[in-house]
């Protein structure tokens, strides 16, 4: 159950990021940074989905760890875009909170899996 919640949250976050990056590019702001954000944010969900079909426990853990790293990278790009006035404060806080929630779920899932 929690796994499907994580997948859905990651997918919604990816969609929200697509819309955010469209807005950034439409306003002729940092397209290169928006592309970096788009890559890392969509990679979170892709790795979570891929973990679902892992060949082993080790492979499963590896995919979730990659997703976790992508969360940290995504938080960096969001912060950079906010601090360079490419994202408004409210949008930044919303995206930061969503990404943080996914990261915390990944951390919890990894702790559980590794303890078994």
For the chain, domain boundaries: 2-115
Give the tokens for residue 34.
């928006």
The predicted model scores a pTM of 0.91
10-residue mean pLDDT profile of the chain (116 residues): values are 81 97 88 95 97 94 97 97 94 97 96 91
Other beta carbons less than 10 A from residue 103's beta carbon: 19
* Per-residue pLDDT, 88: 94
CB-CB neighbours of 66 under 10 Å:
18
Query: What's residue 3's pLDDT?
Result: 58
pLDDT at site 47: 97
| Per-residue pLDDT at 2 | 52
SS3 content of the chain, % helix, strand, coil (to 5): 85, 0, 15
| Answer CATH for 2-115 from 1.20.1440.60, 3.30.450.20, 1.20.272.10, 3.40.50.800 | 1.20.1440.60
Give CA–CA dist 13/98, Å, rounded. 7
């Amino acid at each position: 159950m929690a796994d499907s919640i994580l997948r859905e949250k990651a997918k919604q976050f990816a969609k929200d990021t697509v819309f955010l990056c469209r807005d950034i590019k439409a306003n002729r702001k940092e397209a290169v940074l928006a592309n970096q954000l788009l890559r890392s944010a969509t990679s979170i969900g892709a790795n979570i989905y891929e973990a679902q079909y892992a060949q082993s426990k080790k492979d499963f853990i590896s995919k979730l760890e990659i997703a976790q790293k992508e969360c940290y990278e995504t938080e960096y790009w969001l912060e950079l875009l906010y601090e360079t006035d490419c994202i408004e404060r409210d949008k930044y806080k919303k995206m930061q909170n969503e990404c943080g929630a996914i990261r915390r779920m990944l951390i919890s899932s990894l702790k559980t899996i590794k303890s078994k």
